[in-house]
Chain A
């Protein structure tokens, strides 16, 4: 029976050794958990897919003929072993046996098809799967495209990944600090044996690819718990496989000693699973153990389990723990044990790259026990830690050879500094430095000492600083706290802090004084702390006056603005302000609006800002008015309009009837042109955004045609010595260029000449255009419009001229026209003929007059045809020798009866002005001359006799300009303009 038991144990051991050495089974088909109801079938030998969404969606409903993977048996084993280890925690049989797959329930199986055939699938992919199909009835196949993956190891990773999708799992993704997805696949972290990536991320380049509980592809805040997902309801009963070794001393598994050696294996199936093994030490012995995870090969290639190994004594007290950070194995070497019962605990653990959540899988434990032979007394020790931080304690263990019976420990720098315990504990090192430990052991015969120099290194704690040193918060503001002096930090309490594990944190939202502590850990793992109190001050409340959102002020006026509630104030900008650093300021704006910011600071240093929006507007009344540079014009011409409104209009609407442009919305429209004579209105409507003022300026623009001067004469050529006349028309008055042959006086529109040689005469004709009263922007009430004309008079020699015409005039008197002429040296005259014309060119004789002895003649033309506005008269002097001499041509513009009985000549006048008038009766006449503003410049009263009279006036005392000449006789008076040049 004993032998039988031994043989069973021996055969089991041999089987284990063979299995352990190979790391896998030897012949296909492979099954990781035979008999399990749930099956993942790894199909390497080709398969024709029919009746799935793959067919209907991607291949027109036709079968998809997938070629075999072409993998060697070794490659198949690689894939099988990797996926077996990934699915080791579950009651799922990873199989290469299609019969096993076929025998499984349709809702408890999945075919993972490894094939190079992917031409039917349109996207680039290493694998593809329909989600959550393991527990369903459709799409019972997912694909691993071996041609895209490179090697069997990658195929194994992809196989577990795609099968994971069929078991409801989505991807694990990477996100940045803003929770923005940066990578659909979490690529893990670290390097070497302990490097990690999630199976549902991408783990081709990492060693440990594990089920994980990190962020899913859905959100950075949604952690996908892979283990819970695989064991969830949709997967129809997938669960953790049964535990193989007990979790406590009472259910521990005995390690079977064969030739002082032992070995066993187990599975850490959950992240709470621990496996306990029992061993009995009969004599004082040294224990050696090593626990290794399953792997594809050295160094723990593609292992899933980071092993934790703990040795405990019979009471459950931990004697030794080994969880190395950088390797997955765990071990104990030469642990000296007294006889007794001991327990070895195996579990999964985390490391720098993974938390231990997915540190699951198979492990192998081997070891041996070597009896400790009696040896010479030799002191030896081991410490629980040799590098510590100041203020920490260390336990020491006697490791001496021989059989000491007493111990004397000396701990330089430690407290207590000496001990006689075999294994002294809690030796405190309060100061930094490097210290020696001395152990002297005694037995009944002798003693032995050994000093471990520089054995203990005590590191200083990091000295932390926090800036600012006296932080404060005003109201709801925040303040940053920055810790320095360590590598890693932890702030507490977390209340009111934005983060707690960065050197820089921000205090936000406290309402009372709060003390924060930061714990800092340096490169040695030593931790120091620092406190800082954040002072809380209530928020600064500023009150402004006026309190309105917008302050409207009169422009150019000073208006007071005030802010209270703080101690110091700063106004910005300073434009328009009386000062910028008091609570009360005066603001004065010339126009527009301005936005002022007032920042107040109280005694605590708290500051707040308040704002004024100041709008300046005109406070004088709005009234439309215009400026025009000339309101009397001769067309065609242009004048300039400007706005001269009062108030402060912001919009303008001009109307220029008859002008071009006809309208304008500019403030100053500029030139407006008029093409035709007439009287034109101008309208202006202005608005300041509130009020409107409209004004029409009736007849503002008075426009007349530009004069066109015509010069006519019938005296061509003119005998030398004779006088002739030139008739002008087309203007109101004329100004001749000086020539000695011009004979003055003469009526403005006709002149007598007495050239001695051929002469060209120049004359400028004027029209005076007067504006309407009240629209005198430019200061001129009228404008002179002029035209210049010339005429050439050819003079020929005709012999002596024995006649001199002193003057010839024609004036309307009622319904008749009185003519009069005065002669000298008329002896050669045969007779006179008075000629009349309607156009100044074609004359007819109306009366022949015989020469007498008197020198003055007259004739009254009573035969005036009604309706003709103008008559021209001239005197034809017929000399005895046949020569004919003409007088100047007199133009008579017919007026109403008695209206035109005064003629002024010349006009314009330089110095001497002659008035020719008709007196109805004997009496007194009064002559006055006013300037245009109405100022009296000249006055004379004189007696007149009935008849045709003249009066000479010297105007040399008058300045050049326009004057009004008024002659008054009895009840009759007449006023005419005269221009003094």
Chain B
């Protein structure tokens, strides 16, 4: 009983926290680049399909998404992806590669309903950033 109540409380807290971290703060931000806390990134790759995962940004914002994919492509490369909470047709994909020069993160957030997108990349200093851009600069058809 106690566990159940605790789970419900955690779930409510988690839901509340996620609700604050929707696209309105992220996709409509005026910032060109948002740094992600790199220390938090490794853990998200343990998430299972259907779980809600949060990316925590340096400025306090978080991006919550429901995992729809978590694949180990190769031994050193794995990719997690999902649909952003609170955003229609907006998806995130994040790839991690353990290379000789260090752990590298890449990915993107693309809204299929608009031309809004973010590119996720790892800077030379190892910091991971969301860079605001347009869908056309990430995905090209034909």
Contacts and interface: CB of A to CB of B under 8 A. Distances in A.
Interface stretch (B2-10, B15-23, B36-44, B101-109): B101-109
Nearest to A158: B142
A107 B139 CA distance: 18
A50 B68 CA distance: 12
A56 B142 contact: no
B81 A131 contact: no
Contact of B69 (A62, A137, A171): A62
A60 B68 contact: yes
B97 to A, nearest CB: 4
A439 interface: no
Interface in B67-125: 67-74, 77-79, 81-83, 91-93, 95, 97, 99, 104, 106-108, 110, 112
24 contacts: A50-B71, A50-B73, A51-B69, A51-B72, A51-B77, A51-B79, A51-B95, A52-B93, A53-B107, A53-B139, A56-B69, A56-B79, A56-B82, A56-B83, A56-B91, A61-B49, A106-B77, A106-B97, A127-B142, A128-B140, A128-B141, A129-B140, A130-B139, A139-B93
A224 interface: no
B105 to A, nearest CB: 9
A773 interface: no
B142 to A, nearest CB: 5
A99 to B, nearest CB: 15
A123 interface: yes
A52 B69 CA distance: 9
Contacts of A127: 141-142
A51 B73 CA distance: 6
Given A126-B142, A171-B140, A61 B107 contact: no
Contacts of A57: 81, 91, 93, 110, 112
A151 interface: no
A125 B97 CA distance: 30
Interface string B48-64: 01000000000000000
Nearest to A148: B142
Contacts of B138: 130-131
B63 to A, nearest CB: 14
A55 interface: yes
Interface in A36-87: 50-53, 55-57, 60-62
Given A51-B95, A56-B81, A122-B112, 8 more contacts: A57-B91, A61-B69, A106-B97, A127-B142, A128-B141, A136-B106, A137-B104, A170-B140
Interface in A456-485: none
A412 to B, nearest CB: 61
A138 interface: yes
B127 to A, nearest CB: 17
A185 interface: yes
B50 to A, nearest CB: 10
Dominant secondary structure at the A interface:
loop
Nearest to A56: B81
B91 A137 contact: no
Dominant secondary structure at the B interface:
strand
B69 A165 contact: no
Contact of B82 (A61, A126, A161): A61
B29 interface: no
Contacts of B73: 50-51
Contacts of A56: 68-69, 79, 81-83, 91-93
Nearest to A170: B140
Interface of B: 49, 67-74, 77-79, 81-83, 91-93, 95, 97, 99, 104, 106-108, 110, 112, 137-142
A131 B140 contact: yes
Nearest to A184: B142
A138 B79 contact: yes
Contacts of B104: 137
A129 B99 CA distance: 24
A165 B140 contact: yes
Interface in A120-148: 122-123, 125-131, 136-139
A165 B139 CA distance: 9
Contacts of B140: 128-131, 165, 170-171
B81 A53 contact: yes
Contacts of A53: 81, 91, 93, 107-108, 110, 139
Contacts of A170: 140
Contacts of B81: 53, 55-57, 61
B142 A125 contact: yes
Nearest to B74: A106
B92 A137 contact: no
B142 A185 contact: yes
A138 B73 CA distance: 10
Nearest to B79: A51
A138 B93 contact: yes
B137 A128 contact: no
A662 to B, nearest CB: 59
A50 B99 CA distance: 20
Nearest to A128: B141
Nearest to B71: A51
B97 A55 contact: no
A131 B137 contact: yes
B141 A123 contact: yes
B120 to A, nearest CB: 9
The 10 closest A-B pairs by CB, nearest first: A56-B81, A61-B69, A61-B68, A51-B71, A138-B95, A53-B93, A137-B97, A51-B79, A57-B91, A51-B73
A52 B142 contact: no
A194 B82 CA distance: 48
Contacts of A185: 142
A131 B121 CA distance: 13
Nearest to A123: B141
A125 B140 CA distance: 10
Contacts of B82: 56, 61
A128 B142 contact: yes
Contacts of A128: 139-142
Contacts of B74: 106
B41 to A, nearest CB: 14
A106 B87 CA distance: 32
Given A51-B79, A128-B140, A130-B138, A138 B71 contact: no
B107 to A, nearest CB: 6
A137 B106 CA distance: 7
A106 B106 CA distance: 13
A117 B112 CA distance: 21
Contacts of B71: 50-51, 55
A60 B89 CA distance: 11
Interface string A157-197: 01001000100001100000000000001000000000000
Contacts of B67: 61
B129 to A, nearest CB: 15
